[in-house]
Chain A
């Protein structure tokens, strides 16, 4: 496997959602041929749940995906997050990581990766994540923002995505940065796939990033009927009110949003099968 290193956003080896997108676009570090994390030195929840869904999709097509894990320090975190446990039947590790199991807990408030298949799971995971954040000293308003993002993205994944693996989700509070990160990913139809027909009927633009932007508008949904299409708009508001930033990657399009600003684009060569959302909130109101 080619172990050439992608340079992500000026940083080497950060596997967040943007890093994952650039790694895929490089076509060398992470592809359906295999995943080489040997030079990764930092992993975020968005990078992890996005990668989990990519591997799920590739494994459906070709069987187990070869994976070179990162160095023990990062691999230990991924073990702690149950990344390898969820995927162990569909990845082929190039070395054993059993020595990392049972190590001491990561000190920061975080939740292991969860897989969500039913609306009951959404309720349970939202309750658990809320308790973890409250226990980690996160203020009530910020817990509300995080749970809004989490529950609406999970609901969208279950209602619209038709994802064969359900949805993956994880959260982490970064104590040093004083931020909390919420991530949700699925391996389904993708946002552009769910509203392309609607956009066509309206004569709207149909590039993938334009369709994602359209899905963020209130009232845009693959389902007809009053009330649908407000979830992502609500997520965007929560991110804005909470001074957070959000990245969405779906099919070939991506949109990044922070405050009232937005940036978007389209990858030409590689698509994300499904949708991945990563939201990061600064903890202005964290309890002491």
Chain B
């Protein structure tokens, strides 16, 4: 199967920041609010199911206050149901995420949030930044398109109720796709899929 093209992965890829040059320090809550508003506009116009890639790799300096205001609040909005069925992925080289962009992760951890991150726009690999329990990471890793809670519980060797709790949390955090599927005999159940295509 050919590797998915960029357009197949991201509905839209945006350079970040949008309101100012990337070499400007991103150092205040006001600046974070401005950038958050612009990201919100993009998510508003993204069709359901769409993934927005945010290219943060060019940012030279970002502090905690900015990160919290922009990405902490973005995750908060997604978790409370704003921009339903839209997804966000950070795009930046690994060394940048571990170094000059580490305050994104610190800010998310303080709020117990997590975001998807990929080092390249082809999304050949991806991970999460922020705070996600080992159980949720394990679940996220195990999901294949079309998996139901029953299938996942079997894969993970956990009780179905535990699996439902996990998939609920992951879909609420917008780290997992969820779709209501109606079966042949009219019964309904949720099917899950990774936000990004399987790189394997």
Is the CB–CB distance between A123 and B25 below 8 Å?
A: yes
Once A152-B63, A227-B107 are accepted as A-B contacts, the answer to whether A123 and B69 lie under 8 Å apart by CB is: no
Once A119-B29, A123-B27, A151-B27 are accepted as A-B contacts, the answer to whether A144 and B111 lie under 8 Å apart by CB is: no
* Complex Cα gap A127–B63 (Å): 12
The answer to whether the Cβ of B110 comes within 8 Å of any Cβ in the partner chain is yes
* Total number of residue pairs linking A and B with CB closer than 8 Å: 72
For residue B29, which residues in chain A have a CB less than 8 angstroms away from its CB?
A: 119, 155, 159
* Complex Cα gap A148–B107 (Å): 13
Is the CB–CB distance between A123 and B103 below 8 Å?
A: no
A118-161 residues at the B interface, CB under 8 angstroms: 119, 122-123, 126-127, 130, 140-141, 144, 147-148, 151-152, 154-155, 159
* Complex Cα gap A230–B69 (Å): 11
Binary A-proximity of B75-101 (CB < 8 A = 1, otherwise 0): 010000000000000000000000110
Q: From DSSP, what is the main secondary structure of chain A's interface residues?
A: helix
Is the CB–CB distance between A130 and B25 below 8 Å?
A: yes
* Complex Cα gap A147–B99 (Å): 13
Once A226-B76, A227-B107, A230-B107 are accepted as A-B contacts, the answer to whether A155 and B28 lie under 8 Å apart by CB is: yes
The answer to whether the Cβ of A234 comes within 8 Å of any Cβ in the partner chain is yes
Q: Which single residue of chain A is at the shortest CB-CB distance from B68? A: A227
Is the CB–CB distance between B65 and A144 below 8 Å?
A: no
A215-232 residues at the B interface, CB under 8 angstroms: 218-219, 226-228, 230-231
* Complex Cα gap A155–B68 (Å): 13
Out of A148, A219, A226, which one reaches B72, CB within 8 Å?
A: A226
Binary A-proximity of B23-39 (CB < 8 A = 1, otherwise 0): 01101111100000000
Q: Which single residue of chain A is at the shortest CB-CB distance from B23? A: A127
For residue A122, which residues in chain B have a CB less than 8 angstroms away from its CB?
A: 27-28
Is the CB–CB distance between B28 and A230 below 8 Å?
A: no
Out of B24, B63, B100, B111, which one reaches A234, CB within 8 Å?
A: B63
Binary A-proximity of B51-71 (CB < 8 A = 1, otherwise 0): 000000000010111001100
For residue B106, which residues in chain A have a CB less than 8 angstroms away from its CB?
A: 230, 234, 237
Count contacts on A: residues with CB < 8 A to the other chain.
25
- Most chain-A CB neighbours within 10 Å: which of B63, B68, B110? B63
Q: From DSSP, what is the main secondary structure of chain B's interface residues?
A: helix
Is the CB–CB distance between B99 and A141 below 8 Å?
A: yes
The answer to whether the Cβ of B171 comes within 8 Å of any Cβ in the partner chain is no
The answer to whether the Cβ of B73 comes within 8 Å of any Cβ in the partner chain is yes
Q: Give B165 Cβ to nearest chain A Cβ, in Å.
A: 22
Once A130-B25, A147-B27, A234-B103 are accepted as A-B contacts, the answer to whether A218 and B65 lie under 8 Å apart by CB is: no
Is the CB–CB distance between B110 and A230 below 8 Å?
A: yes
For residue B61, which residues in chain A have a CB less than 8 angstroms away from its CB?
A: 126, 130, 144, 147
Q: Which single residue of chain A is at the shortest CB-CB distance from B61? A: A147
* Complex Cα gap A169–B110 (Å): 28
Q: Give B33 Cβ to nearest chain A Cβ, in Å.
A: 10
* Complex Cα gap A140–B64 (Å): 18
Q: Which single residue of chain A is at the shortest CB-CB distance from B106? A: A234
Q: Give B116 Cβ to nearest chain A Cβ, in Å.
A: 20
Once A226-B76, A226-B111, A234-B63 are accepted as A-B contacts, the answer to whether A126 and B27 lie under 8 Å apart by CB is: yes
Q: Give B34 Cβ to nearest chain A Cβ, in Å.
A: 10
Is the CB–CB distance between A231 and B64 below 8 Å?
A: yes
For residue A226, which residues in chain B have a CB less than 8 angstroms away from its CB?
A: 72, 76, 111
For residue B25, which residues in chain A have a CB less than 8 angstroms away from its CB?
A: 123, 126-127, 130, 147, 151
For residue A231, which residues in chain B have a CB less than 8 angstroms away from its CB?
A: 63-65
* Complex Cα gap A146–B120 (Å): 29
* Complex Cα gap A237–B107 (Å): 13
Is the CB–CB distance between A148 and B24 below 8 Å?
A: no
Q: Give B93 Cβ to nearest chain A Cβ, in Å.
A: 14
For residue B68, which residues in chain A have a CB less than 8 angstroms away from its CB?
A: 227-228, 230
Further pairs besides A218-B110, A227-B110: 5, Cβ < 8 Å: A123-B31, A154-B27, A155-B29, A231-B64, A234-B63
Interface residues of B (CB under 8 A from A): 24-25, 27-31, 61, 63-65, 68-69, 72-73, 76, 99-100, 103, 106-107, 110-111
Selected A-B contacts with CB under 8 Å, 22 pairs: A122-B28, A123-B25, A123-B27, A123-B31, A126-B27, A144-B61, A147-B61, A148-B64, A151-B63, A152-B63, A152-B64, A155-B27, A218-B110, A219-B110, A227-B68, A227-B69, A227-B111, A228-B68, A230-B65, A230-B68, A234-B63, A234-B106
A-B pairs with lowest CB-CB distance, top 6: A151-B27, A119-B28, A227-B68, A234-B64, A126-B25, A119-B30
